[in-house]
Amino acid sequence: MKGILTLILFTLSLQLGFSQQEIVATFIIKQAKHNEVNVSQSYTDDNAYLAFYTSDGDGELYMSNCRPKPNTQSFGLITNLETEEYEETQDHFSFQIYTFRWHFQNNYDSNSGSADVVLTKVFKPQGTTFTMEITTADLNVLEYKGIMGSGLNNNSTISAEEETTPINNDDNKIDRFREDYDLVTIYDPQTKTWSDWSEGNNTFVMNYNKNGDIAHYKANGDVVTYRKISDVEIEYTESGKRYQIFDALDEDGVLFHFQFFDDRSAGLKMIYNNMMIQFSSSEY
C-alpha cells in the first residue's frame, strides 16, 4: 500500500504541474457508478483515486478525481465546505459527513463546471471506508465507495480552516437530522403477522444531501444510501398518528416506501413489495 500511495502522490504532482501541493487525504476507489450504471471495473483497472490537497499555500482546499492509467483527471476548488461528526457508540462506528461545492475542470476535454458533493467517512477498526456522491449541474450522478489511503491520519477531518463551518439550518439549507433505533420487527405477508421485537441498532440520517436522500448506518459499519424519488406527503393513521411518506431507491434500484412517524415509538417503516420492516426505540 505504501508503494501505491507514493505513486498517487507522484502522479498528482505530475498532473498538476510544479506548484507546491500539500496532500490532505486520499481515497482509493473500489466501487463506482455513473447514473446507476456500475463502472467499478474500469475504475479499479485505472487505479482511480480521489485526492484532497492545498496549493501554493493559498489556504484553499482542492479535490482531484484521478485515473492514472489514462492520465486523466478532473480537479478544482472546494467551497462551502461543511462538516458534521458523530462519535462512536454501541450502535455504530464513528463517522463524519462533509458537504461542499466542487468547481472542477477536466484535463482531457474543455469541460468545466460545478457539482454538489457529499462525502462520508466511517472509522472501522480495520481502516476507514468512504462513500461519495457527486451531482453535477446537469444532474449526472457519480457514486464512489472505497477505502481511505494509508500513510495519512485516518481520524483527521478534511478541512481548510477558513472554509470549514458546522452544519446549520438557514433558509437555504435542507434540515439534516438523525434518528437512532435499537429495535426492529418484520412483517410476514404470508402469515400476515409481525415478528417479535428484536434488538437491532440502526441509525438513519434524513436529508443526507440536497436531494433529501437517506443514509442508513448499520451496526457493522456498512452504509446504505436510499435516493429519494418522490415528494414528501403528510398523512395520519386512523388513530391520529402523523407521519411523512415518500419513495426512494436503494443502491440496486429496489423501490422502498418510507413511512416516518413523529412518534418515535412508532419509528420508521420501510415497505417493499409485500414486506415491511419497522424500526423503533426502546426509550419510548
215 in the same domain as 133 = no
Residue 171 lies in a domain: no
97 in the same domain as 17 = yes
Which of 165, 196, 230 is a domain's end point? 165
Residue ranges making up the domain that contains 101: 2-165
pLDDT in tens, 22-65: 788 889 999 999 998 999 999 998 889 998 988 877 778 999 99
139 in the same domain as 60 = yes
In the three-class reduction of DSSP (H, G, I as helix; E, B as strand; rest coil), residue 151 is classed as coil
Give Cα separations from 119 to 17, 58, 95, 185, 200 (angstroms). 26, 23, 10, 31, 26
236 in the same domain as 114 = no
Which of 123, 142, 165 is a domain's end point? 165
pTM: 0.59
Instruction: Inform me whether the pLDDT recorded for 12 exceeds 60.
Output: no
Give me the amino acid identity at 127.
G
Count of domains for the chain: 2
Please tell me the distance from the alpha carbon of residue 185 to that of residue 62, in angstroms, as a whole number: 45
pLDDT value, residue 281: 87
Higher pLDDT, residue 256 or 18: 256
pLDDT value, residue 87: 85
Which of 135, 165, 195 is a domain's end point? 165
Higher pLDDT, residue 221 or 249: 249
Cell for 184? 426492529
pLDDT value, residue 259: 93
